[in-house]
Structure 1
Amino acid sequence: MIVAAALFTYAVLLCTLAPRLLRGADWTERAPRLGIVVWQVLGASALTAAVLAGLALTVPTVRVSADLAELLQACVMALTAQYASPGGAAAGAAGAVLALAVLGRVAWCAGATLLPIRGERREHRAVLDMVGRADPVRGVVVLDHDEPAAYCLPGRHRRTVITTGALHSLDEDQLAAVLAHEHAHQAERHDAVLAWAQTLSRAFPRIPLFRTAEMEIARLVEMRADDVAADRAGRLTTAAALLAVAGGHAPAVALAAGGSTAARRVRRLIEPHRPLSRARIAAGSLTAAVALAVPLLVIGGPAAAATQLNYCPDGTPAAQLTTMR
């Protein structure tokens, strides 16, 4: 019961305090890749803590044994002892409901999020194959449209799309920056990162951590792609390229170089570059690792202590224990 309470308290604190401390933090913009990792880890840690809290209520700690028969016997006896009382049965049932509800909700929302996206991307790829023309030199699909726009459709059959308006508006360096931006989305699987954030936000829309993480990750993946493009073509060139394609329209299921965050990203590229020090990056990475490990450490302590428990005293036959009960 204590372990379950500790895990549940940790999950609640993480879901309520983390968004207030991290939302819009300066260091995440200076190291967007680390910021993405931290937001993902916080969501995974809170989810893991909630599930483990339910399991801790459902399954009591049993003696760890190398003998499978003894381990199963200890499990049965521990379960019988817990569920013999109304309080133990109620706690176990509540834990099972919590764990199954969390896992079931996430699985359902993952399907509800991913399946429509896959369908829309498949349909849009079919349209591109009909109305676009391949540019094998640049590795893109060119659409005849006066509006400057560039975007990518990630996935197994990925496409990088650019309009003729963008080709006419961008010089070679700016075009290289835009293409590097889109290739970064594909290479670092930002579509999967966003889909996971959307799944958790959709599954638990009233929990601040998941709702804020979705918005922050959507912002940070664009900044991360901007940084890759800036390494390729320079920060000012990338900023000019973003301005040129900022007003371009792209499908909702695509990842575009422009978009509503373009203005803030352009200012970030124009301002003096202040990357995080290696020490702060290491500290942030260590913090993320600790946050992910906390639920496992909390439940791992009792599991380790279980090796010292003796549910079946030596020399006491199982039948005799059953009769005594």
Structure 2
Amino acid sequence: MTVALVLFGYAVALAVFAGPLLRRARWVDRAPRLAIALWHALSVTVLASAAMAGLALTVPTVQVSGDLAALLRACVMALREQYASPGGAAAGATGAVLALAILARTLWCLARAALRAARDRARHRQVLDIVGRPDRGHGFTILDCAESAAYCLPGRQRRTVVTTAALQALDGGQLAAVLAHERAHLAERHDLALTFSAAIATAFPAVKLFRDAAAETARLVELRADDVATDRTDRLTVAGALLAVASHGTPAVPVGAMAAGGAGAAARVRRLIPPRRPLGRAQATAGSLAVAVLLALPVLVLGGPAATASQHNLCPDASVSASAPMQ
């Protein structure tokens, strides 16, 4: 019971307090890729901790066949001692339902979101095959449209799309910046990060952390793509390109497509004006360690009693058992 309470308390604490703290952190806009990893680590940790809490309740109620060797029977006795729950079978059943419900709901929403995005992208590609025309020199698709926009369709048949209005609004350097932005989305598979965070938020809408993670991921992938584009050109060129493609709105794009302009473009332009200040190596290392600790801690908590049980005399060494004389 103690293990289950610790894991569940850890999940609740992260869900309540971690999101606001991360949103107020000043460094996230300077290292968007690390911030995306941290948001995803928080979401995975909360889900895993809650599921493992249910699993910890289930462990002591699992029956072991009497045909197993004495070594395994003794080890099961030790594990029961460490994971013992005062609720008995009722607590174990509740834990099993909790763990299975979290796993099933998560997988269902992830699969549904991925299939929906793939379907919408396939339909949009069919439309582009009919109404779009390729630009052989730069490797993108030109779409006749009165709205200035550029976006990309990820997947196996990835596309980068630029409207004719955007081509008229962008100069050569700005067009290169927009293409670098969209290709950064494709190369780093930002669509997977967006699909994951949106699916988790849909699966558990009552958890504010998941809603914040989805919103922040959508914002941060754009910042990351902006940073990649600045490496190809310069910050002011990227800022001018964003203003050009966002000035007349963004046409409807399918689920899973990522547009350079649209919501948040003004804040992104303001971010690009001052000189870039990336995180130092020590700060980046600390952030990476935080991601690793978040993911590892629930596993260590769940496995702690098992490690303790392995030190008990009830769990004899396998080599000793194997060398014991046959009765």
Q: Same fold (TM over 0.5)?
A: yes
How many angstroms apart in 1 are the aligned matches of 2:185 and 2:101? 33
Deviates more, 1:206-215 or 1:267-276: 267-276
How many angstroms apart in 2 are the aligned matches of 1:158 and 1:191? 11
* Residues 1-325 of structure 1: pairs in structure 2 closer than 5 A: 1-60=1-60, 69-70=69-70, 73-74=73-74, 87-246=87-246, 247-253=249-255, 254-311=257-314
**Paired residues of 1:184 and 1:225 also in contact (CA < 8 A):** yes
Quote the offset at 1:60 in angstroms. 2.8
The alignment partner of 2:161 has SS state of strand
**Paired residues of 2:79 and 2:306 also in contact (CA < 8 A):** no
Quote the offset at 1:75 in angstroms. 7.1
- TM-score norm. by structure 1 comes to 0.88
Gap change, CA 1:313 and 1:298, over 3 Å in 2: closer
Residues 219-264 of structure 1 show CA distances to partners (whole Å, capped at 9, x for unaligned) of 0000000000011110000000000001232414210000111010
- Give % identity: 62
Gap change, CA 1:7 and 1:260, over 3 Å in 2: same
- Residue 7 of structure 2 aligns with an amino acid whose one-letter code is L
Quote the offset at 1:45 in angstroms. 1.1
How many angstroms apart in 2 are the aligned matches of 1:207 and 1:237? 39
How many angstroms apart in 2 are the aligned matches of 1:77 and 1:50? 25
Quote the offset at 1:297 in angstroms. 1.2
Quote the offset at 1:78 in angstroms. 7.5
Residues 30-57 of structure 1 show CA distances to partners (whole Å, capped at 9, x for unaligned) of 1111110110111111111111111111
Number of equivalences: 309
5+ long unaligned stretches in structure 2: 63-67, 318-327
**Paired residues of 1:58 and 1:96 also in contact (CA < 8 A):** yes
How many angstroms apart in 2 are the aligned matches of 1:45 and 1:280? 22
**Paired residues of 1:150 and 1:250 also in contact (CA < 8 A):** no
- Residue 249 of structure 1 aligns with an amino acid whose one-letter code is P
